[in-house]
């Protein structure tokens, strides 16, 4: 099947057939063929073949099937208004509508007579996020695979695509090391080291006069003592203050402190010291410790210059950590795993391993599989290890088993297409919506062969979306679709953007995550991603945006009352990742819109493209003037005429997302137009035009979401599925959960094509 090159496809649609000739029911001969012969052949003929296209090969209706990929490109470019190109008179709207209607009707007819092909997904290795979440849900262990394992490769824009999730010897060694560590934490058979005190004074961060914070890592699941040291004094008539010690945002201790703290621990002189501590269980990994006075009413009456050292004040000075100590209570993870005491005998070990393997392998476990794990236990016990340590060896073996590390689906008979099993459906569903293993309810329904029943499946989809674990969709799908993961790699110029810091970056990331979750859980139209008039901010981000009335570090939903912001395109995260460190980029932002919103990515740039003179941007010439000069080159214009006009629509936002009306000494001009000729003069008007183009956005969003859901790229045989999902979603006001449901009920999600017989593969290769 031939493929039409995307570059420079100039379908010169003129005025061709009159509207009167289309009054009757349009057909290929009346609505399509005349356009090709009368208006396109002038450029796309045997002699010129502009864009490597000769329309002679497209005059036969049979070409709609034989050259389907090329026709899809033709339809897409005409539908978007990209063709005819600028400078060529546009045909009447009814003529274009008839042209597209005939094509879509013929496409639908061909799809209905073609046997559905669900495609096939290769054995799917758990990526880093899926590994961490599965360990969490299986064992109750917090394990940061993103810190321990190398980054996963990506395919089609996502890191959960089975074809690219390979296993190297180095990664296998990482898996073994991680499994040993996780098993030790889950069972607790290894002794703790001698405890010690750790003074992290050099890592203390003062958030304000009353608040200090420490981020630090502990290496064992155990009890630790968190100690807050306080210093200073006030007058005898001043009111007491309340000290709050919190860990990871959760209160650990609240205590009233007298403003004269000599009763706690006086060291003499005007400056007095004291401390408060709390003992609590912490899991291995990084934690955030905070000490703060939450009701210091007298502070506002003390001059700023007298609030530290020997001045009239009391404030938290440092945080210390001590440990590890044996936990006074059973480790929560061990309580989940150790349903009996391993020291009581082999029957207990077998009971624990049978239960764990059932959940770890996401299916009923065979007796032989349990016997293999028990063999590891027996060999360790015979070598002098304790029962708990021997159990750890078995759990380690389980965690490096392919049955745990891979999602393996059984093929039907070679070349056949069949529905996947309910157990396989349970894993597809949970790893799509949770990036994690099925829970007990999903497994129970799958094992009783009830999960595939539409009503049961619909109820489970709603349950999984409502569960907090569905936040994984925002972290993993939205993080890659909107490229928010790239925030960690962004380093805005500190001189030009001194406001940029780690807290602002995290606030931007949180805003987009909470926005995505709201659209998903509230079942909002996906058009909210374009122009939803609400967002989520804390005080820092609200000030950055110029939104008044928001105080404190907590995020809350706010309604947007101006045209400056709406949807994700005007959120700081998106605007920052689509900018250069020193300035905005109409090219990056235009490309971002084409790829992620319109689904029409431009071709790669030619080699040796000259760079803009960064020193003159906003000084000698405006960015628009320099880009227009750049587009004067015909080679550059073919792509930049599409990208730049969209990027200019976001020029009112600087490189870290603040609203502006000038760029250097030049006023910002955000005006532009879409390929179909519709013009805009403000970001709000541009988003209105994007909203009017919901079918194309929905098609783009569906293709990306389907790729993520299946763990494979969307292929040509998925066209019918994509079109059906778009139609179902449009019929329900573009509701988010309708789109999710349509994906889950689709043929590719619920069925699987087996690999062809080796003899068939050899025959196909020999033909080529």
- Cα 748 to Cα 718: distance, rounded to the nearest angstrom: 8
- Cα 266 to Cα 256: distance, rounded to the nearest angstrom: 17
At 33, is the pLDDT very low, low, confident or very high (cuts 50, 70, 90)? confident
- Interior angle at CA 81, CA 75 and CA 87, nearest 5: 125
Cα–Cα distance list, 158 to 76, 146, 704 (Å): 24, 15, 9
Confidence (pTM): 0.86
At 767, is the pLDDT very low, low, confident or very high (cuts 50, 70, 90)? very low
Partners of 753 in the beta sheet? 417
Quote the pLDDT of residue 304: 61
The conformation of residue 596, written as its DSSP 8-state character, comes to: H
**For residues 432-455, average pLDDT:** 98
Q: 650 near 569, Cβ under 8 Å?
A: yes
State which H helix or E strand residue 240 sits in: none
The conformation of residue 81, written as its DSSP 8-state character, comes to: T
Quote the pLDDT of residue 69: 86
- Cα 584 to Cα 649: distance, rounded to the nearest angstrom: 12
Q: What confidence tens digit (pLDDT) does each residue in 108-156 have?
A: 888 888 888 999 988 999 999 999 999 999 999 999 999 999 999 999 9
Question: Would you tell me how many other CB atoms lie within 10 Å of the CB of residue 80?
Answer: 17
Cβ neighbors of 87 (< 8 A, separation 6 or more) are none
Quote the pLDDT of residue 167: 95
Following DSSP, what letter does each residue of 527-594 receive, concatenated? THHHH-SEEEE-HHHHHHHT--S--SSS-EEEE--SSS--TTTTSHHHHHHTS-SSS--HHHHHHHHH
- Whether the per-residue pLDDT at 383 is higher than 50: the answer is yes
Q: 180 near 396, Cβ under 8 Å?
A: yes
Instruction: Give percent of the chain above pLDDT 90.
Output: 63
**For residues 428-442, average pLDDT:** 98
Quote the pLDDT of residue 265: 42
Using the Cα atoms of residue 517, residue 522, residue 525 and residue 529 in order, give the sign of their dihedral.
negative
- Cα 630 to Cα 611: distance, rounded to the nearest angstrom: 9
State the Cα torsion 324-329-332-335 to the nearest 10°.
Answer: 130
3-state secondary structure of 206: strand
- Whether the per-residue pLDDT at 602 is higher than 70: the answer is yes
The conformation of residue 384, written as its DSSP 8-state character, comes to: T
Quote the pLDDT of residue 30: 84
Following DSSP, what letter does each residue of 142-164 receive, concatenated? ---HHHHSPPPP-BTTBTT-GGG
3-state secondary structure of 703: helix
Quote the pLDDT of residue 609: 61
Q: Supply 286's token pair.
A: 């990084």
Cβ neighbors of 453 (< 8 A, separation 6 or more) are none
Task: Please choose, from the candidates 231, 332, 242, the residue with its C-alpha nearest in 3D space to the C-alpha of residue 280.
Answer: 332
At 7, is the pLDDT very low, low, confident or very high (cuts 50, 70, 90)? very low
At 629, is the pLDDT very low, low, confident or very high (cuts 50, 70, 90)? low
Partners of 680 in the beta sheet? 672
Question: Would you tell me how many other CB atoms lie within 10 Å of the CB of residue 453?
Answer: 12
Tokens 């020999």 correspond to 766
Q: 646 near 672, Cβ under 8 Å?
A: yes
Quote the pLDDT of residue 686: 96
- Whether the per-residue pLDDT at 56 is higher than 80: the answer is yes
Higher-confidence position of 697 and 624: 697
3-state secondary structure of 461: helix
Partners of 371 in the beta sheet? none
**For residues 611-622, average pLDDT:** 61
**Phi and psi at residue 223, in whole multiples of 5°?**
-80, 145
- Lowest-confidence pick of 44-53, 345-354, 512-521, 622-631: 622-631
**For residues 450-463, average pLDDT:** 98
Work out the angle between the directed axes of helices 128-139 and 346-360 (0-180°, nearest 10).
Answer: 140
- Cα 144 to Cα 251: distance, rounded to the nearest angstrom: 24
Mean pLDDT over all residues of the chain? 87
Q: 729 near 738, Cβ under 8 Å?
A: yes
Quote the pLDDT of residue 174: 97
Q: Supply 371's token pair.
A: 């016997």
3-state secondary structure of 241: strand
How many helices (H) and strands (E) in the chain?
A: 31, 19
- Whether the per-residue pLDDT at 100 is higher than 90: the answer is no
Higher-confidence position of 63 and 355: 355
- Whether the per-residue pLDDT at 223 is higher than 70: the answer is yes
Quote the pLDDT of residue 106: 85
Tokens 């926005």 correspond to 515
- Cα 419 to Cα 448: distance, rounded to the nearest angstrom: 16
- Cα 443 to Cα 363: distance, rounded to the nearest angstrom: 7
Quote the pLDDT of residue 74: 81
3-state secondary structure of 494: coil
Quote the pLDDT of residue 619: 63
Asked: is 196-325 a CATH 3.30.930.10 domain? The reply is no
- Whether the per-residue pLDDT at 15 is higher than 50: the answer is no
At 429, is the pLDDT very low, low, confident or very high (cuts 50, 70, 90)? very high
- Whether the per-residue pLDDT at 709 is higher than 90: the answer is yes
- Whether the per-residue pLDDT at 616 is higher than 70: the answer is no
- Cα 97 to Cα 77: distance, rounded to the nearest angstrom: 13
CB half-sphere exposure, 766, CA atoms < 13 A: 6
At 5, is the pLDDT very low, low, confident or very high (cuts 50, 70, 90)? very low
**For residues 265-288, average pLDDT:** 77
Work out the angle between the directed axes of helices 736-744 and 502-521 (0-180°, nearest 10).
Answer: 70
**For residues 699-728, average pLDDT:** 96
**Where do you find CATH 2.60.120.260 in the chain?**
196-325
Tokens 């659209």 correspond to 519
- Cα 458 to Cα 741: distance, rounded to the nearest angstrom: 7
């Amino acid at each position: 099947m031939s493929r039409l090159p995307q570059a420079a496809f100039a379908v010169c649609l003129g005025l061709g057939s009159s509207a009167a000739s289309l009054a009757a029911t349009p057909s290929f001969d009346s609505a399509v063929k005349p356009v090709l012969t009368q208006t396109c052949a002038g450029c796309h003929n045997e002699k010129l073949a502009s864009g490597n296209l000769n329309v002679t090969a497209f005059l036969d209706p049979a070409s709609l099937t034989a050259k389907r990929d090329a026709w899809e490109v033709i339809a897409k470019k005409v539908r978007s208004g990209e063709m005819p190109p600028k400078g060529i008179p546009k045909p009447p709207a009814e003529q274009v509508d008839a042209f597209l209607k005939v094509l879509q009707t013929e496409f639908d007819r061909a799809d209905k007579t073609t046997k559905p092909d669900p495609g096939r997904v290769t054995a799917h290795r758990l990526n880093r996020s899926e590994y961490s979440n599965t360990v969490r849900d299986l064992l109750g262990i917090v394990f940061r695979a993103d810190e321990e394992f190398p980054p996963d490769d990506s395919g089609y824009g996502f890191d959960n695509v089975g074809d690219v999730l390979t296993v190297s010897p180095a990664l296998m060694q990482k898996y073994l090391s991680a499994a040993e560590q996780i098993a030790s934490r889950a069972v607790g058979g290894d002794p703790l080291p001698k405890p010690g005190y750790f003074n992290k004074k050099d890592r203390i961060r003062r958030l304000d006069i009353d608040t200090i914070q420490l981020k630090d890592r502990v290496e064992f699941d155990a009890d630790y003592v968190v100690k807050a040291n306080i210093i200073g004094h006030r007058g005898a008539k001043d009111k007491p203050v309340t000290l709050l010690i919190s860990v990871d945002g959760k209160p650990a201790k609240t205590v009233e402190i007298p403003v004269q703290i000599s009763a706690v621990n006086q060291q003499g002189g005007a400056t007095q010291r004291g401390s408060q501590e709390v003992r609590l269980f912490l899991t291995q990994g990084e934690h955030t410790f905070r000490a703060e006075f939450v009701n210091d009413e007298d502070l506002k009456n003390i001059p700023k210059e007298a609030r530290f050292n020997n001045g009239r004040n009391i404030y938290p000075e440092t945080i210390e950590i001590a440990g590890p100590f044996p936990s006074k209570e059973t480790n929560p993870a061990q309580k989940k795993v150790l349903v009996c005491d391993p020291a009581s005998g082999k029957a207990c070990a077998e009971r624990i391993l049978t239960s764990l393997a059932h959940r770890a392998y996401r299916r009923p476990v065979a007796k032989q599989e349990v016997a293999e794990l028990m063999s590891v236990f027996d060999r360790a016990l015979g070598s002098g290890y304790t029962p708990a340590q021997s159990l750890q060896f078995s759990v380690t073996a389980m965690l490096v088993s392919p049955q745990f590390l891979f999602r393996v689906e059984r093929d039907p008979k070679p070349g056949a297409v069949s529905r996947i099993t309910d157990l396989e459906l349970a894993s597809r569903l949970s790893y799509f919506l949770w990036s994690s293993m099925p829970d007990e309810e999903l497994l129970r329904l799958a094992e009783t062969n009830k999960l595939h029943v539409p009503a049961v499946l619909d109820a489970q989809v709603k349950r999984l979306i409502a569960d907090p674990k569905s936040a994984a969709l925002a972290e993993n799908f939205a993080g890659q679709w909107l490229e928010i993961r790239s925030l960690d790699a962004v380093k805005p110029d500190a001189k030009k953007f001194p406001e940029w810091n780690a807290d602002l970056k995290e606030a931007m990331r949180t805003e987009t995550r909470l926005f995505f979750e709201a659209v998903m859980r509230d079942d909002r139209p996906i058009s909210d991603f374009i122009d939803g008039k609400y967002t989520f901010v804390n005080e820092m981000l609200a000030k950055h945006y110029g939104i008044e009335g928001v105080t404190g570090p907590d995020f809350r939903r706010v309604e947007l009352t101006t045209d400056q912001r709406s949807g994700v395109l005007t959120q700081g995260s998106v605007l920052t990742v689509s900018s250069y460190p020193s300035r905005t980029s109409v090219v990056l932002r235009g490309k971002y819109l084409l790829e992620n919103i319109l689904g029409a990515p431009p071709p790669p740039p030619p080699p040796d493209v000259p760079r803009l003179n960064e020193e003159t941007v906003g000084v000698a010439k405006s960015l628009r003037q320099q880009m227009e000069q750049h587009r004067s080159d015909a080679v550059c214009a073919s792509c930049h005429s599409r990208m730049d006009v969209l990027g200019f629509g976001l020029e009112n936002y600087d490189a870290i997302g603040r609203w502006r009306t000038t760029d250097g000494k030049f006023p910002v001009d955000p005006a532009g137009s879409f390929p179909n000729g519709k013009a805009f003069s403000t970001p709000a008007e541009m988003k209105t035009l994007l909203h009017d183009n919901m079918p194309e956005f929905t098609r783009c969003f569906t293709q990306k979401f389907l790729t993520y859901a299946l763990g494979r790229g969307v292929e040509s045989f998925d066209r019918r599925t994509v079109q059906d999902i778009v139609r179902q979603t449009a019929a329900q006001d573009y509701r988010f959960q309708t789109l999710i449901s349509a994906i889950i009920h689709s043929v590719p999600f619920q069925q699987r094509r087996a690999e062809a017989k080796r003899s068939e593969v050899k025959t196909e290769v020999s033909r080529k």
